[in-house]
Structure 1
Amino acid sequence: MALVYQLALTQIKGIGNALAKQLIDHCGNAEEVFRSSKKQLMCIPGIGNRVAENILHKEVMDSVEKEMTFIDRHKINVLFWTESSYPNRLKQCVDAPILLYFKGDTNLQTKKIISIVGTRNASDYGKRICNELVGSFAKDEVLVVSGLAHGIDSFAHQACLENNISTIGVLGHGLDRIYPAANRRLAMDMLKNGGLLTEYPSGTNPDRQNFPSRNRIIAGLADVTIVVEANIKGGALITAEIANAYNRDVCAFPGDINRITSSGCNHLIKTHRAHLISSANDLAYLMNWELMDNNNQGKQLSLEITLNVEEKEVYDIVKENGPISIDALSYKVNRSQSKLAVLLLALEMKGVLIALPGKMYRIP
């Protein structure tokens, strides 16, 4: 029953992801949103007369019933904002979808998740980078995310399949179709070790405006976004900019200064929007993944160092979790990253915390 109301909430006219989350915060869950009176609804900031009427009339229930049938028939997992199945990394992004449709078999909370993006007009150089980069993760627990588009996306997904690495394709349409159609076989193979993910219900066409929107999911699911080969304009650079806005790491492979498909990567590096990498070893160093795999315990806090209540809370969480990202830490202490940065700096100055590459922190 809960799923019915969760689906309905996403299909009410005038309600986007931000307003849907606000409704959940005020009412407790999706079902209670629809059980609220008009007076109660209009007391919620952002809810006017028309939106309240749309909620109360429940005109979307017919389409919800069709979607439920589609979900059941195709064994699709629905991941709702308030549930533990919703990807933790994406939940930390302010504009994350309130609901996701997922078909496949993989762990969306994998320890290491990377997004690989790039041009649709990939060269042999781009394909070689994809193969070498992905191949280097063959013995590691890594999930690779991309967009199932022609070019770099497809090469990255295919390299994952060849190396038995889980890979997710984020779609700009419903799960009732595959776009581009030429990637249908690739998409079906990905369901065996990975899957397909979208915020769009069945029946949604692959319209142009959907793809920049889906790029925020590609960036938000991952610890780091890697731009392999890209023009200075296009979806790959949009994804990189979104990742930067999320305070996630961005890496780029440099390319020939005279090649248009390298202009985007070179621009990101030149303007300090991406780390320059030339191999998986560079990526591992920047992300501090070797240290993350080393479960050394932090040293005992000196009795001579005095921490206030907030500092002690942050210190204890870092000590308990080992190397931890600022995103994960912000989520655990329920503080904005700007406020958390002040506390982290104070702890660094007191010598009880160390900042690592990849926006990670650990105890000395």
Structure 2
Amino acid sequence: MRAYGFKSNGGPEVLEEVQVPTPAPGPGQVLIEVAYAGVNFAEVQHRRGEFGEPDGPGGYDVPGLEVSGTVAALGSAVHGPAVGEQVAAYLPGFGGYAEFVVVDADFVRPVGGLPLAHAAGVPCVYPTAYGVLADAGRLGDGESVLIHAAAGGVGSAAARIARGLGAARVFGTVGSTEKTQLAAALGYDALFVREDFEDAVREVTEGRGVDLVLDPVGGPVRQASLQVLAPFGRVVAYGDLGRHADWRADVFDLWKNSRTVAGYNIGDVARRSPATIGEHLSRALSALASGALPYAPPTVLPWADVAEVHRLFEAGGTHGKTVLAVAEQGAG
């Protein structure tokens, strides 16, 4: 089958079209014929070597954490979904930039009428958004939220989900002034340029601060986020987009100022509580299909443009969700 992968770590140019064996589903697994593959920053990290050197079939690793498509075959002991059903899936071991993928049934859910192009952008970012808000962030009714990298896939999903979980006010930070104009479209009360967010948050909250900060950036942004917390506020770390050196919180500072730092990693949750990912995925697909959760259509680009898409991600040149059209099956 065709796939896009890399045989050595490096820049976007290492991605190339390759032929790799079509996988077969084992016990508890589902084989999916891929229609669309979502793109996430973790796939950029995978390509750059932050998760190790490539060691897949033929020496190639195939990125891709989420797909939509049609069930092609089932392994033993799988009771659903049915062959021929349209589904979305989270792929904890990557592999989504391919014509077929195999994945444990725990991470596969029917799209429920959601168009496949839309569904491809759900399995990674929406369970992450639910996880950082509800599981790690313990968001309560009437609380306020600040979301860093607010125009990205997880950020824009979290902004909408936060409303449904009871948030009263939702703010975000972005990397450029131009992106602040996207606030209303992305569901925010206001967006701030990340370099100057501390004063802006204090002003808009009249000095109280926010109850919850979601931070995939790290470094100075994470440290500064502690300074804009309301009493009993939480910072949830779930990434390191800025590629900063490890940062350690001062426990004395945390308890003296009634602050909390929490963490969320979807890969860890997938290993230790796969049902949690499946539950959040099912919840998101149902809410999106019914219209209960607003959803902006993704940017759909040709599969062959994958290297250019990775360049845009590294340059911060995207907003919302981007998916690759692997095949046009079942779209609409």
Identify whether the pair has TM-score above 0.5, normalized to the shorter chain: no
Q: Highest relative contact order (Cα 8 Å, sep 6+), 1 or 2?
A: 2
Question: Which structure features the higher share of strand residues?
Answer: 2
Larger Rg: 1
Task: Tell me which protein shows more helix as a share of its residues.
Answer: 1
